[in-house]
Amino acid sequence: MAGGDKSMKALREVWRRAENSVCADCGKPDPDWASSTLGVFICLSCSGIHRNIPSISKVKSLKMDHWDDAQVQFLAKHGNAVTKAMYEAHIPIYYYQPTYNDCQVLREQWIRAKYERKEFTESGKQLPYTDGVKEGILWKRGRDSGQFQPRKFLLSEREGCLKYFTKQDAKEPKINVKIDVINATFQPEKIGNPNGLQITYLKDNKTRNIFVYHKSGKEVVDWFNAIRSVQFHYLKVAFPIASDNEIKSRLTRNFLKEGYMEKTGPKQREAFKKRWFTLDHRRLMYFKDPLDAFAKGEVFVGSRENGYSVHKGLPSGTQGNFSWPYGITIVTPDREYLFTCETEADQLDWITAFTGVINQAMTPQEYA
């Protein structure tokens, strides 16, 4: 057997190990790239991020590139399990570990945090999101002007809140929000910036949106994890018997689905209007514009055992004019809500998202 064939056979054996069947960084199945300097198997998308850190990682295709014996032996000695044990040894429980569905900035900063900055190799390391306080400038979108302006933000674990100030030297904050009513989710496409972050919070039982970004990907991801850190410690005190994993599941969450649908009013005779919808667990909010600060309205989506259901199509005899052909009806104990989608794929995606929520039992907090 020629040396090249032997190397290829040995490479395939390492590649076939169960630990190497998903990307070491984002969990995507069937990675077909690897780092010859770190010894991890990664997907094409993560390999592009590794390529931007050439001092740390040299990447090669497992299918198209030549691997010599020494490189194959290095991969065999390392692999995803050994390398992760080293670089992911001490990840704080609240730190968000992105998947292949997450945006570029989250995945890039996760990879840089692990291999370039080595943030998780030692226990008790002081990190920018572990202090319990974070202060700095974020560029915030003006509610009326739509222009992004630099604003001072202050996050405090001791006070359990997030504040922002319209001027650097302002004594009083423009807002002061309790940490337990905050959600943060990356929205690069909606905000039009690769580091765009949407912060939402409840005010008078209504959801308020703030849209921010920072020029530094590291800084905006540090803010995101600092919010999760402060939330985690606040909830540990508030719910002392809850497990760490239970508390982790209550930190920031991605929206289940967002996009345009048309809706009609309660009489179901009005013309359908195009609105931007956001499904945040049981809150279905609708906005005139995706970047509005406040929703025009909210629909509570309860559980099947409480009389909620979702159906494909509209009731026969629906009178309101609509331009999109793919209907959805949500039945609640009080009324039916009618929506239309532009495509059948959108309709099926929304029905899947609503069904997932309706099939979950409601928590005591949701009953309240």
DSSP string, 16-52: TSGGGSB-TTT--BS--EEETTT--EE-HHHHHHHHT
What pLDDT, on a 0 to 100 scale, did the predictor assign at position 198? Answer: 97
Q: Is the pLDDT of residue 1 over 50?
A: no
- The band of 4, judged by pLDDT with boundaries at 50, 70 and 90, is low
The answer to whether position 123 is within a domain reads no
* Predicted local confidence at residue 2, as pLDDT: 43
- In a domain? residue 326: yes
With a cut of 80, say whether residue 213 has pLDDT above it: yes
Give the range of the structural domain holding residue 82, as residue numbers without chain letter.
1-116
Give the Cα separation of 1 and 17 in Å (integer): 23
Q: Are residues 108 and 3 in the same domain?
A: yes
Which residue, chain included where needed, has tokens 């009609």? Answer: 264
Q: What integer is the mean pLDDT of 201-219?
A: 92
Same domain, 320 and 337: yes
In angstroms, the CA 357 to CA 172 distance is 40
Compute CA 210 distance to the chain's CA centroid, rounded to the nearest angstrom: 16
Cβ neighbours of residue 223 closer than 8 Å, sequence gap 6 or more: 129, 134, 136, 138, 153, 155, 184, 197, 214
**Domain boundary residue among 54, 82, 116?**
116
pLDDT tops 70 at residue 270? yes
Phi-psi region of 331 (alpha: psi -120 to 50; beta: other; left: phi over 0): beta
Asked if residues 129 and 220 have their Cβ atoms less than 8 Å apart, the reply is no
Strands (E), the chain: 33-35, 41-42, 59-61, 133-141, 148-156, 161-165, 175-178, 182-186, 197-203, 206-213, 257-263, 273-280, 283-287, 297-300, 309-312, 326-331, 336-341
Contacts for 111 with CB less than 8 Å, ≥ 6 apart: 25, 46, 49, 50, 53
- Cβ burial of 240 (10 Å; 0-12, 13-18, 19+) is exposed
**Conformation bin of residue 359: beta by default, left when phi > 0, alpha when psi is -120 to 50:** alpha
In this model, does residue 3 exceed pLDDT 70? Answer: no
Cα atoms in the 13 Å half-sphere on the side-chain side of 114: 26
User: HSE on the CB side for 292, CA within 13 Å?
Assistant: 15
Q: Is residue 207 part of a domain?
A: yes
Average pLDDT, stretch 310-327?
87
Report helix, strand or coil for 97. Answer: coil
33, 61 contact by CB (below 8 A): yes
Q: Are residues 29 and 53 in the same domain?
A: yes
- Residues 174, 242, single domain; the answer is yes
Q: Would residue 355 count as lying in a domain?
A: yes
Whole-number average pLDDT of the chain: 92
Q: List, for residues 129-184, the tens digit of each pLDDT value.
A: 888 899 999 999 998 888 999 999 999 999 999 999 998 888 899 989 999 999 99
Say yes or no: 272 and 356 in one domain: yes
The answer to whether residue 146 is domain-embedded is yes
Let me know whether 182 and 218 are in one domain: yes
Secondary structure (3-state) at 152: strand
Mean pLDDT for 220-240 is: 94
Please check whether residue 109 is in contact with residue 120, taking contact to mean a CB–CB distance below 8 angstroms: no
pLDDT of residue 216: 97
Residues 97 and 2 in one domain: yes
User: Is 211's pLDDT higher than 60?
Assistant: yes
How large is the average pLDDT for residues 105-133? 93
- Domain boundary pick from 84, 116, 148: 116
Residue 292 resides in a domain: yes
Whether 68 and 158 share a structural domain: no
Residue 368 — very low, low, confident or very high, per pLDDT cuts 50/70/90?
Answer: low
User: Are 82 and 141 in the same domain?
Assistant: no
Distance CA 236, CA 94 (A): 11
User: What is the pLDDT, as a whole number, of residue 114?
Assistant: 97
At 87 the three-state DSSP class reads: helix
End-of-domain residue from the set 199, 216, 249: 249
Note the pLDDT of residue 214: 97
DSSP-derived secondary structure letter, 93: T
Q: Using CA atoms, how far apart are residues 104 and 48, in angstroms rounded to an integer?
A: 11
The pLDDT-based confidence of 364 (bands split at 50, 70, 90) is confident
- Banded model confidence at residue 278, pLDDT cuts 50, 70, 90: very high
Looking at the structure, tell me whether residues 151 and 108 fall in a common domain.
no
Mean local confidence (pLDDT), 186-200: 96
User: Angle CA(10)–CA(15)–CA(21) in degrees, nearest 5?
Assistant: 165
Number of folded domains that form the chain: 3
Assess if residue 121 is contained within a domain.
no
- According to DSSP, residue 340 is labeled E
On whether both 29 and 90 belong to a single domain, the answer is: yes
Average pLDDT over residues 33-48: 96
Between 69-77 and 3-15, two packed helices, what is the crossing angle to 10 degrees?
Answer: 20
Size (the chain), residues: 368
- Residue 105 included in any domain: yes
Strand order through the sheet with 133-141 = 175-178, 161-165, 148-156, 133-141, 206-213, 197-203, 182-186
pLDDT at 190 over 50: yes
Residues 112 and 1 in one domain: yes
CATH of the domain at 138: 2.30.29.30
